[in-house]
């Protein structure tokens, strides 16, 4: 267990951590008025990684490394130095809920991360250190502000590297709640985040990934925060995500920054249907049986009748072929029998002729005369 002093020290050290190696923005609306709109999720969706072999590229983007899948879920694996497999949603939510079922990676200095990140660097985090088997870290940032020392806090969790746990963020205009397995462990009120200035409040995408905070290339403060240097010879280090559920509290096609204030009040919700929602809510492809069952009774009868007719025709062709084969076989057998009889007759004639030449006829006549007595 971590003492209060140790937890406080870890909170201070988190200042030197990049919160997750996955945090970045391609266009910051606080600095530019030409940033593109953020495509909205605009609905609720569940992504079950245990039943797929890859993610839909229109929904999730692999921003680093390779993620593998099996019946346990999505595997984010560090096999060697420099690897940090990460996926990022191509959609944004404007307040809502993110619920991740995850087993963290083991390994000193290895960080398993769940990050909500906005274009102007608002951020909400879950981070689990591979060497910490008893606690999970929660954190947040407002507009990339790293001047305060008191944001990161740690909460008990049972062997996160051995067990799957539910890590949830419930995010609204008024507060942020972090939950472990359904229990609220932390609440951040809007006013408590520097009067709202550091409160995450702009549209966010979702990022899942693993990285080595204990790599020798990281600053000393980051290595200490991560739990110490990472020994890659003890790998591979695997973070596993079985599923993620995301609920967007807003509805629309996209979100646009109306100015450079970074306030949620400036965000414009573009009306329309979200293209991502259409993808994630599309029904799965129907099986042949389901397709048949979806047809009208008349169509089903027509298909059955057609299939029956085809079967009759096929059977007729098969019978016809069999008859032809049998007839052909009989003709071939007759020819063979005739040839055999011909050869037999020729052989008997040959033997008779040879017998005459060797006196066999006289011998036969002699015994024939003796038979009379």
Nearest to 197 by CA among 145, 149, 275, 147: 145
Nearest to 262 by CA among 147, 141, 119, 139: 119
In the block, which residue shows the tokens 């995010």? 171
Q: What is the DSSP letter of 66?
A: -
Q: What share of the chain is helix, strand, coil (3-state, %, to 5)?
A: 30, 30, 40
Q: Give the confidence band of 3 by pLDDT, cuts at 50, 70, 90.
A: very low
pLDDT digit string, tens, across residues 29-58: 999 999 999 999 999 999 999 998 888 888
Active site residues: 123, 127
pLDDT digit string, tens, across residues 208-260: 999 999 999 999 999 999 999 999 999 999 999 999 999 999 999 999 999 99
**Dihedral, 209, 215, 219, 222 alpha carbons, nearest 10:** 50
> How distant is the alpha carbon of residue 108 from its chain centre?
27
pLDDT at 368 over 50: no
Distance CA 55, CA 85 (A): 14
Distance CA 175, CA 276 (A): 27
């Amino acid at each position: 267990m971590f003492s209060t002093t140790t937890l406080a020290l870890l909170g201070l050290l988190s200042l030197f951590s990049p919160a997750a190696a996955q945090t970045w923005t391609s266009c910051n609306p606080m600095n530019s008025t030409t940033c593109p709109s953020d495509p909205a999720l605009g609905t609720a969706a569940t992504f079950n990684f245990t039943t797929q072999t890859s993610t839909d590229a229109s929904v999730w983007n692999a921003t680093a490394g390779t993620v593998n899948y099996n019946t346990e879920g999505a595997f984010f694996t560090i096999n060697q130095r420099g690897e940090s497999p990460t996926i990022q949603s191509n959609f944004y939510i404007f307040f809502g809920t993110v619920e991740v079922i995850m087993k963290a990676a083991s390994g000193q200095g290895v960080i398993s991360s769940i990050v909500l990140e906005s274009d102007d660097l608002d951020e909400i985090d879950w981070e689990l250190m591979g060497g910490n088997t008893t606690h999970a870290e929660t954190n947040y940032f407002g507009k990339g502000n790293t001047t305060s020392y008191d944001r990161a806090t740690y909460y008990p969790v049972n062997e996160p590297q051995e067990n799957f746990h539910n890590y949830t963020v419930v995010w609204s205009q008024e507060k942020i709640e972090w939950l472990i397995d359904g229990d609220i462990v932390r609440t951040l009120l809007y006013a408590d985040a520097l009067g709202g200035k550091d409160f995450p409040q702009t549209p966010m995408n979702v990022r899942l990934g693993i990285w080595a905070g204990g790599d020798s290339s990281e600053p000393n403060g980051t290595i200490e925060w991560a739990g110490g240097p990472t020994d890659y010879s003890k790998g591979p280090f695997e973070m596993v995500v079985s599923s993620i559920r995301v609920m967007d509290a807003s509805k629309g096609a996209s979100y646009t920054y109306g100015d450079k204030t970074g306030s949620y009040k400036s965000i414009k919700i573009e009306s329309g249907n979200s293209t991502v929602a259409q993808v994630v809510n599309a029904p799965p492809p129907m099986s042949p049986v389901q397709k048949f069952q979806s047809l009208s009774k008349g169509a089903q009868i027509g298909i059955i009748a057609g299939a029956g007719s085809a079967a009759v025709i096929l059977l007729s062709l098969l019978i016809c072929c069999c008859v032809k084969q049998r007839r052909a076989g009989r003709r071939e057998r007759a020819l063979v029998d005739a040839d055999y009889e011909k050869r037999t007759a020729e052989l008997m004639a040959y033997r008779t002729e040879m017998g005459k030449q060797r006196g066999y006829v006289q011998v036969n006549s002699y015994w024939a005369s003796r038979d009379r007595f």
